[in-house]
Amino acid sequence: MMQPEYKDYYTLLPLIILIVWACLLLLADLFIPKSRKSLTAFLSALGLAVTLGFTISQIGRESTGFNDMVVLDGFSTFVNVLLLVSGLLGIALAYGYVKRMGLERGEYYTLLLFSVSGMMLMAQADDLIIVFLALELLSIPLYVLAAFKRKQESEEAGIKYFLLGAFATGFVVYGTALVFGATGTTSLSGISAFVSNGTSSPSTGSGGTLLLTIGAALLLVGFGFKVAAVPFHMWTPDVYQGAPTAVTAFMSSGAKIAGFAALFRVFATAFPALSADMADVIWALAALTMIVGNVVAISQSNIKRMLAYSSIAHAGYILMAFVPYGNKDVMSISIAAGLFYLVAYVITNFGTWAVVIFLEKAEGKDLEISDYAGLAKKYPALAAAMAVFMLSFIGFPPTLGMVGKFYLFRAAIAGGYNGLAIIGVVTSLVSAYYYLRVVVNMYMREGDPTIEREPWLSFTTAITAIATVVLSFVPQWLFLLASTAVFRQF
């Protein structure tokens, strides 16, 4: 056994900092009096900011560590930055919300840090064992956070998320075992090398190939749970609705980023040879996800449930671009498009949830879409921001969501999947109906909504709304970053 070297630590440097910080904060929190828990929030945010600094310093670097079990490359750095920003926004949203709802405990923030660590590990995992480890590290804090309210619906959400999440993890473990059985390795590059060496060529259809294919399919199921793809989406509406809203905001962004990061890396690195079989499966998943997510969202009257189905639908759009992943010319476009859209989605998503938190009252009041009636007259800026987010979700200019969808659809068409792109645009049209209903309520119906004013919430709403609009005019650098966020070549 080799001793770990500097290179190993450097590969995981931001992650190590964050985990150590989280552990120390967990201890330090014991000595922070109950009335001063905002200090924990600031310290957690500081931890994320420091980690973000280190992550940014690694832009352009590539290395591997710990016997090639983890990797640092353009892809992982891009995803890590996005995850850390999500963590920061998650804390900004939670800061006033937990106070107002009587949930303010220091553990909230440390759990969030642990979850972010798990997500970052997911982005850097280059071995199926690490994928499993990361999946657990990111999920377990989320289960606790979902049940944080200790009210019936919140506990129900936590248990439901835990049971189905554990089930999904089981799929990942079983898939890993089968892949190991077929190839004798859990390393992603090892699997790919094994397959391309022809020891078990997919075309011959030997028993090993069958194992490998089943293993890959089980992994797909596991990741499908995490990103909430149909038909593995059943938990999403209940968990999103029951969990504290600030947790939902973080979960719907972070877990999705991490799930897609794992999906992209595992499939593009380890299983490109299986793409002939897998592309059809992912095609069907993407189509189903877009259709079911958008169609069911129409009938929702609760905004949290509506956004839950909308988050399912957006997972479908990202999956759509990933279908041609086996095509060497298109693969990098697919992944760049997915990453670009994740950025657009995360920004819009946090903004939307911020507006939801603005209106939400204790006991889950004011969460119906009809409660938004009259918002534009009373709070024009807030309503304008929400309108921007809804347009971005639909994919309308001038918003980042539009540029993102343009990118995704282009990837699908470049891969030759014109039919899937047509399903995508038609379901976008369907989505316009339910997103516009929020706009209709805000602008065209009379009502008297009240909001809870809170500086960090205003800040988050403002910054995400501005980013959604401004980035749509200057998306060049984001395009460049996304297209250079590639996997390490080996």
Partner 1 sequence: MEFLLQPLTLLTFFPLIGVLVILFMNSESKAAIRWVALVTSLITFAISLWVFAQFNSSNPDLQIEAKYPWIQVAGWNIYYYLAVDGLSILLVLLTAFLTPISILSTWTAIEDRVKDFMIFFLLLEVGMTGVFLAQDLFLFYIFWEFTLVPMYFLIGLWGGPRRVYAAIKFFLYTMAGSILMLVAILYLGVKTLTFNIPDMLAVLPGLYSSGEITSATQMLLFIAFAAAFAIKVPMWPLHSWLPDAHVEAPTAGSIILAGVLLKMGTYGFLRFNIQLFPEATVQAAPWIALLATIGIIYGAAVSYAQADVKKLVAYSSVSHLGFVMLGLFALNPEGVAGAILQMVNHGISTGALFLLIGMIYEQTHTRELKVYGGLWKIMPIFGTVMLISSLSSMGLPGLNGFVGEFTILLGAFGSKAIGSAWYAGISAIGVIMAAVYILYMFQKMFLGPLGEITHHHELKDLNWREIITVAPLLVFMFWIGLYPAPFFNILAPAVDKLLSVLVIP
Fill in the amino acid letter for 414: A
Q: How far is the CB of 445 from partner 1 (least distance, A)?
A: 8
**C-beta separation of 276 from 202 below 8 A:** yes
CB of 413 to partner 1, least distance (A): 5
Based on CB atoms, which residue is closest to partner 1, 361 or 445?
A: 445
Task: Please identify, using beta-carbon distances, which residue of 463 and 469 lies nearer to partner 1.
Answer: 469
Q: Distance (Å, rounded) from C-alpha 44 to C-alpha 17?
A: 12
CA distance 53 to 481: 17
Closest distance to partner 1 from the beta carbon of 412 (Å): 8
Question: In 3D, which of 187, 192, 145, 195 has the Cα closest to residue 165?
Answer: 145
Looking at residue 396, its amino acid is: F
Tokens of 177: 């075992």
379 SS3 class: coil
Q: How far is the CB of 418 from partner 1 (least distance, A)?
A: 7
Rg value, the chain, Cα: 21
Pick between residue 161 and residue 340 the one whose CB is nearest to partner 1: 340
Closer to partner 1 by CB, 363 or 446: give it.
Answer: 446
Q: Which is nearer to partner 1, 262 or 432 (CB)?
A: 432
CB 101 to partner 1: min, Å: 34
How near is the Cβ of 171 to partner 1 at its closest, in Å?
A: 34
Residues that bind partner 1 (CB under 8 A): 333, 380, 391, 396-398, 402, 406, 409-410, 413-414, 418, 421-422, 425-426, 428-429, 432-433, 436, 440, 443-445, 475-476, 479-480, 483
Q: Which one, of 96, 87, 39, 100, lies nearest residue 455 by Cα?
A: 96
In this complex, which beta carbon is closest to partner 1, that of residue 190 or of residue 397?
Answer: 397
Q: Which of 166/440 has CB closer to partner 1?
A: 440
Is 240 or 283 the residue whose CB approaches partner 1 more closely?
A: 283
- CA–CA distance, 350 with 99 (Å, rounded to integer): 19
Q: What is the DSSP string of 345-365?
A: HHHHHHHHHHHHHHH-BGGGB
CB of 298 to partner 1, least distance (A): 12
Task: Please give the C-alpha separations between residue 82 and each of 52, 116, 200, 258, 432, in angstroms, as whole numbers.
Answer: 9, 10, 38, 10, 27
Helices first, then strands: H and E counts in the chain: 20, 2
Q: Residue 94 or 423: which CB sits closer to partner 1? A: 423
CB atoms within 10 A of CB 459: 14
Q: How far is the CB of 267 from partner 1 (least distance, A)?
A: 23
Q: Residue with structure tokens 């839950």?
A: 308
- 24/444 with CB nearer partner 1: 444
Q: How far is the CB of 319 from partner 1 (least distance, A)?
A: 18
Long-range contacts of 41-47 (CB under 8 A, 24+ apart): 41/91, 41/94, 41/95, 41/109, 43/109, 44/91, 44/109, 44/110, 44/112, 44/113, 45/88, 45/91, 45/92, 47/17, 47/18, 47/21, 47/22, 47/113
Shortest spacing between CB 276 and partner 1, in angstroms: 22
Give the type of residue at 24: L
